[in-house]
Amino acid sequence: MIVISGPSGSGKSTLVREVLKDPAFPLEISVSVTTRAKRANEKDGADYHFWTKERFQQGVAAGEFLEWAEVYGSFYGTLKEEIARRREQGKGVILEIDVQGAGQVRRTGEVTRSIFVFPPDWQACEARLRARGTENEESLGRRLACAKEEMGRANEYDYQVVNDDLNRAAGRIKELIKPLFMER
Ligand code: 5GP
């Protein structure tokens, strides 16, 4: 289980997609559950499982989540089922989750690498979020405020990668996870 975190706007999703393109790594991304509204370009079941708050709470009560957290005012969580299915198929799994969730997953003792992605600088983070055009001013402000807090916990991760250049940063992540696949 590989855990990747980083502030909204750090470009971590694009980085993860780049790493997953490489056939050298039999890895899949765990599709999280969220209670936030679906964006126009997102597909239910592919980008996230979009659940109501009630369904999410039921899932928590029934122990369906490996971890869950409230992030930017919505709930997000990793389903145990997402991990189990891939494990049965002998595949590794990447969790793209926040710092709170990463802490919970680390305690299971099953995380083999944890990586924190930094934006190259503050302006790049804000510019990326604005260019994405998915957030209103309030949500943008909240995400940027949380980003500072999240970055303060980057030292809890095995490695830190600065996303200054997509290819270079993806290359660095591949170097970091390569030993996991050589041991198999
Ligand atoms: P977004 O709303 O931009 O898709 O995601 C916001 C943040 O939620 C991401 O930066 C990511 O760190 C976090 N996140 C996404 N899925 C999960 C999850 O399953 N668990 C936790 N704890 N955080 C998640």
Query: What pLDDT score was predicted for residue 182?
Result: 81
- Has residue 184 got a pLDDT over 60? no
What's residue 134's pLDDT? Answer: 87
pTM of the complete model = 0.93
Residue 98 near ligand 1, beta carbon < 6 Å = yes
pLDDT at 95: 97
In this structure, are residues 4 and 177 in contact, taking their beta carbons and an 8 Å threshold? no
Pocket test for ligand 1, best of 48, 71, 142 (most atoms within 8 A of CB): 71
Half-sphere exposure of 127 (CA within 13 A, CB side): 6
pLDDT score for 183: 59
Average pLDDT (90-94) is 93
If you ran DSSP here, which 8-state letter would residue 155 be given? G
Task: Give the CATH number of domain 2-182; options: 3.40.50.720, 3.90.1150.10, 3.40.50.300, 2.40.50.700.
Answer: 3.40.50.300
User: Does the structure show a pLDDT above 80 at 40?
Assistant: yes
3-class state of residue 113 by DSSP? strand
Contacts 24+ apart (CB under 8 A), 81-84: 82/30, 82/31, 82/32, 83/1, 83/30
* Dihedral over Cα of 44, 49, 52, 53: its sign: negative
Between residues 173 and 147, which one has the greater pLDDT?
A: 173
Q: Which residues pair with 27 in a beta bridge?
A: 92
pLDDT band per the 50, 70, 90 thresholds, residue 135: confident
